[in-house]
Structure 1
């Protein structure tokens, strides 16, 4: 699915330099929120498209390292 969103210019100016791949950042945060709300399970979170956010969460202690 493709979704088009309009972001305020000031927001994109502030985050654009720090977050080089804004699309991937949005996908990762969406997946994490879906997990927190119980919409997806841990295995779905670990899938290829969201693997980076899963590893980051483990690094910060959000998930066990098991």
Structure 2
């Protein structure tokens, strides 16, 4: 008999290319949005990645 543990959901991060594809824009626009502060990026293992929550915020209309 084994117990089923609740799914431990790890925060999802997307590469800049994946974020551009999800948002339907060119990757240059993603770089610019990060540079001007419209889109938040984080460093993970020396790479810039976009948190899934940030993509949801942008897709949901932008500013909170």
Please confirm whether the aligned pair reaches a TM-score higher than 0.5, indicating the same fold: no
Larger radius of gyration: 2
Q: Which has the higher contact order (CA 8 A, sep 6+)?
A: 2
Would you tell me which structure has more helix in proportion to its own residues? 1
* Bin of the TM-score, shorter chain as denominator length: under 0.3
Would you tell me which structure has more strand in proportion to its own residues? 2
Normalised to the residue count of structure 1, the TM-score between the two structures is 0.25
